[in-house]
Amino acid sequence: MSSVLTMNECLGRDLALDLVRVTEAAALAAGRWMGRGQKDAGDEAAVHAMRAMLGTVDIDGVVVIGEGEKDEAPMLFNGEAVGTGQGPAVDIAVDPVEGTSLLAHGRPDSIAVIGVAPRGTMWSPGPGFYMNKLVVGREAREAISSASLALPVAELLAAIGKAKHKAVADLTVFVLDKPRHSRLIADVRAAGARVLTRTDGDVAGALMAATPGSGVDVLMGIGGTPEGVISACAVRALGGAMLGQLAPQKPEEREALLAAGIDIDRVLTECDLVASDDVFFSATGITDGLLMQGVRYTDGGSTTHSIVMRGKSRTRRTIQAEHCIDKVRTIGSCSEA
């Protein structure tokens, strides 16, 4: 067999590093707004930076999961074409600032994220905004099934603990700190497990749950449906497992889903949400978090900490980059905004 790399393999390797540059740019632009209480300004800065950097990447990309519909989001809207137009045809899922409130208040685990998969393989949530999710890492993937979302919490955690060779008391469960989760949090605690909460950021939570050795064993609860597709990119790349079921929170959301012919009772897996193992995922820390440091500023520029993954090869890299001050100024700062 020839040792010469195929064109797809060459493109894949290059694409992974290009995506890191995209999330780094978003994080650098948003980082200047950390703790300033202006979440929209931080998000806008990250969107502009991410869009500009995506424009340099040799892909024929279409945004499937973006900032919203075109009328609501002038940049990185759903359906927008991105990239140079040269290269592979791909679906794009982005969140320039996952956890805008975390960024605005200087709280942990605000990140910039992007997922990429071959054209036509990302599931579109349509009018669905909320999804009930369950995420575990590769050690526990055989412990969950389509019926798991309906199981009592204690029974589900016992199965996950058995698969991971852990007592339930040693499990840590990521749950968004929302009023809708008061019963779930109480049930997790009653089962004997520990709870890690964040007010926002269930992509970060899914990444923690799917990453070996992160200290988080499972993500549970209702979060954003678009974030579910982004999370599936990371889960597939890491070899974990994910279940998702639409969970409309308002009657009008439920009616819109039914009118669109979407089965709200269907339990989706990570393979339904992203129907290819040739998936890429990149995340860069904006604020300090469990898996990544946030943007740090020095007299010569700044540093960023990123994770980038490719599903086909199951390669996961952590990248700490030093950026010179001229580059940081070019990307932008709040003083220039």
User: Can you say which residues are annotated as belonging to the binding site for substrate?
Assistant: 98-100, 130, 178-180, 200-202, 224
User: Can you say which residues are annotated as belonging to the binding site for Mn(2+)?
Assistant: 43, 67, 95, 98, 227
Residue 269 CB-density burial (10 A; 0-12 exposed, 13-18 middle, 19+ buried): middle
Tokens of 102: 């975390």
Contact yes or no for 321/21 (Cβ under 8 A): no
- β-strands 296-298, 268-269: how paired? unpaired
d(CA 15, CA 323): 20
Q: Which of 56, 157, 182, 48 is nearest to 112 (CA)?
A: 48
d(CA 204, CA 1): 41
Q: Which of 285, 275, 161, 183 is nearest to 229 (CA)?
A: 275
User: Can you say which residues are annotated as belonging to the binding site?
Assistant: 43, 67, 95, 98-100, 130, 178-180, 200-202, 224, 227
Q: Which of 323, 335, 314, 313 is nearest to 284 (CA)?
A: 323
Contact yes or no for 164/154 (Cβ under 8 A): no
d(CA 175, CA 282): 22
Element (DSSP H or E) covering residue 21: helix 7-31
Provide the angle, in degrees to the nearest 10, between the axes of the packed helices 202-210 and 225-238. 20
| Length of the chain (residues) | 337
Q: What DSSP line would sit under 142-162, residue for residue?
A: GG--TTGGGS-HHHHHHHHHH
